[in-house]
């Protein structure tokens, strides 16, 4: 497989996507913040002094998706048509899922991964006063659709 982010001199470049067709594109990323049951309880009951942890993490994830091109050097600015951040309570932490959509020439995988990562980081930041040893784990692309490469679903998601 050819790496497309290098020019003929072996230097980094932003790929020219102007010849690609605009298609509906979607990417979904998942991750998790592992913590103690005490920390989970405080988040669930609103006992974290900084405020509503999941509300802040949701907004942070959406904002991060919109600014991915400013953080990851070879990403194109993408006009997102939708971003959603979802949370699930688990016995050992909070699962995070981000979904990004656009109609464009390039995919939204990096936006979904950035949104999920920043939502996880925000949960950590909001709760670190009560638990510093939380662990952010397994941020990964779970699914993507659209474009020439078609539909991808991570094996354990099937």
What CATH number does the domain containing 141 carry?
Answer: 3.30.70.640
- The answer to the question of whether 5 is labelled as a binding residue is no
Q: Which helix (H) or strand (E) holds 127?
A: helix 109-127
Buried b / exposed e over 21-30, threshold 16 CB at 10 Å, is eeeebbbbbb
**3 within a domain of the structure (yes/no):** no
Outline where DSSP puts E strands in the chain.
23-34, 80-90, 93-104, 135-145, 152-153
Of 84, 125, 133, 155, the catalytic one is 125
pLDDT score of 5 more than 80: no
**Cα(130)–Cα(151) distance, rounded to whole angstroms?**
41
pLDDT score of 158 more than 60: no
**157 within a domain of the structure (yes/no):** no
**77 within a domain of the structure (yes/no):** yes
Q: What is the pLDDT of residue 145?
A: 96
Q: How many structural domains comprise the chain?
A: 1
- Predicted TM-score (pTM) of the model is 0.92
Average pLDDT, the chain: 93
- The answer to the question of whether 74 is labelled as a binding residue is yes
- The answer to the question of whether 76 is labelled as a binding residue is yes
Q: If you search the block for the tokens 């609103």, which residue do you land on? A: 46
Q: What is the pLDDT of residue 7?
A: 76
pLDDT, average across residues 70-87: 95
Query: How sure is the predictor about 100, in pLDDT bands with cuts at 50, 70 and 90?
Result: very high
**4 within a domain of the structure (yes/no):** no
- The answer to the question of whether 110 is labelled as a binding residue is yes
**125 an active-site residue?**
yes
pLDDT score of 135 more than 90: yes
């Amino acid at each position: 497989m050819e790496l497309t982010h290098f020019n003929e001199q072996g230097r980094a470049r932003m790929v020219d996507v102007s010849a690609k067709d605009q298609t509906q594109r979607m990417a979904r990323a998942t991750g998790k913040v592992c913590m103690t049951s005490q920390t989970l309880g405080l988040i669930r009951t609103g006992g974290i002094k900084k405020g509503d942890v999941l509300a802040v993490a949701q907004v942070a994830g959406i904002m991060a998706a919109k600014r991915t091109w400013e953080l990851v050097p070879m990403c194109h600015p993408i006009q997102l048509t939708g971003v959603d951040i979802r949370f699930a309570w688990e016995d050992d932490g909070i699962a995070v899922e981000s979904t990004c959509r656009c109609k464009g020439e390039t995919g939204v995988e990096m936006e979904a991964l950035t949104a999920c990562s920043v939502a996880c980081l925000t949960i950590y930041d909001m709760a670190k006063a009560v638990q510093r040893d939380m662990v952010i784990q397994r941020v990964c692309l779970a699914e993507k659709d659209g474009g020439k490469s078609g539909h991808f679903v991570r094996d354990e998601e099937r």
